[in-house]
Amino acid sequence: GQQVMQIPQYQHVQEGEDFTTYCNSSTTLSNIQWYKQRPGGHPVFLIQLVKSGEVKKQKRLTFQFGEAKKNSSLHITATQTTDVGTYFCAGVSGTYKYIFGTGTRLKVLA
């Protein structure tokens, strides 16, 4: 079945450093979404990418969808303590069933 892996599983950064999480799918995706889950909270939708090679920005966050639509990345510039949480990608192909990635837990040290 379809699998969506994320790396790294954990990342600790000093406040002000950059952070990137990578998402890789075993199948070609129709689109990909990104979510953030704060500790003790629920996943919150951040963005959706649809086109091959698409790049979108939200303030310090940059999202990219690979040319082959099998991978994606989320880059945070100059992390802040409010960026702490687990970042999930979620990809869909074919059956309109989103498969969530394994998640990357980010800790930001002040």
Partner 1 sequence: DTAVSQTPKYLVTQMGNDKSIKCEQNLGHDTMYWYKQDSKKFLKIMFSYNNKELIINETVPNRFSPKSPDKAHLNLHINSLELGDSAVYFCASNQQQGTYGYTFGSGTRLTVV
- The residue ranges that bind partner 1 (CB under 8 A) are 30-31, 33, 35, 37, 41-45, 47-48, 86, 88, 90, 92, 95-100, 102-103, 105
Q: Are 8 and 19 in contact (CB under 8 A)?
A: no
Give me the least distance between CB of 94 and partner 1, in Å please: 9
Give me the least distance between CB of 69 and partner 1, in Å please: 14
Q: Could you give the 3-state DSSP secondary structure of residue 36?
A: strand
Comparison of 89 and 108: residue with beta carbon closer to partner 1: 89
CA-to-CA separations, 8 to 20, 51, 73, 97, in angstroms, rounded:
9, 25, 11, 24
